[in-house]
Amino acid sequence: MPGDAGERSRYTLTDDGAFLRLRWAAGVTIEADDVRSTMAAVTAASPAGKRPLLVNIGLVDAITLEARHLLIEDTCSLRTGVVGVDAVGKVLTAFNYRSATPSRYFTVEDEAIAWLLGKAEGGEATSREALDPDPFRARLEEGIVLVDWDHGTSVTTEAAEALVAAIAALDPPRSLPMLALNNDMVSLTHEALSVFAERLDVTALAIVGAAGDRTIATYYKQLHAPPYPTRFFTTETEARQWLASERPS
């Protein structure tokens, strides 16, 4: 390799000239401090400007929720090609489909390098260029954020992060109450609920749904203690009336 840009016991970062190569150690759980360290190292290794980044995810065990948030917003490289050994790596990095940097997942390193250098297409899009529609529609309506979930949705961490990003993109003048139409929602992952509790910028949350949705709402309030008032309703009219009373003057 042309040069060594930096090294840590949990990962190595090397300079391949046209791109940087980040290789994670097997068995590592990638944490927020790891991401901050790699971002700083990648930036320092390219003083003349951003370059493509090849990430060998290898046999990493897990990626923490905070680390995922940082990776989604990371813009220290021109584009990122993630190389895994199998479909497990794809699942592990699926959250990155909302990444601010163009990102794709590969199982063949040569194909990843060709894409990084603009010599070929390939891989599976894992950034905001991905075409998979979000399982909800979000809009501002009469002083509230209205979220209409697809019927029978199982909410993943990625969907929760997409909703947080969608609400921010609406650019409301201030934090507003939110009305969520669950439409027979099937389930939410524990991490998805954590995203809503930690990152959802609303003043109150009214959940409208059927009996199963009531169970989800109760679980959310008891286990995740969201910082905003949260209530379940069986009708949209009742939910809107309550939200009106919770709306800041």
Q: How far apart are CA 187 and CA 66, in angstroms?
A: 22
CA distance 238 to 111: 55
Name the CA dihedral angle for 93, 13, 23, 68, rounded to a multiple of 10 degrees.
-20
Residue type, 161: E
pLDDT > 80? residue 226: yes
Cβ neighbors of 5 (< 8 A, separation 6 or more) are 13, 14, 15, 20, 41, 42, 44, 45
pLDDT tens digit sequence for 88-114: 677 677 666 667 788 888 889 999 999
Structure tokens at 244: 């009106």
CATH code for the domain defined by 3-125? 3.30.750.24
| pLDDT band for position 126 (cuts 50, 70, 90) | low
Compute the average pLDDT of residues 204-223: 88
Domain boundaries, the chain: 3-125, 136-246
Q: What is the mean pLDDT of the chain?
A: 84
- Same fold for the domain at 3-125 and the one at 136-246? yes
In this prediction the pTM is: 0.51
Q: What is the pLDDT of residues 6-61, one digit of tens each?
A: 444 899 999 998 899 999 998 899 999 999 999 999 999 998 888 999 999 988 88
CA distances from 186 to 27, 165, 183 (A): 32, 22, 9
Classify domain 136-246 at the CATH topology level. Transcription Regulator spoIIAA (3.30.750)
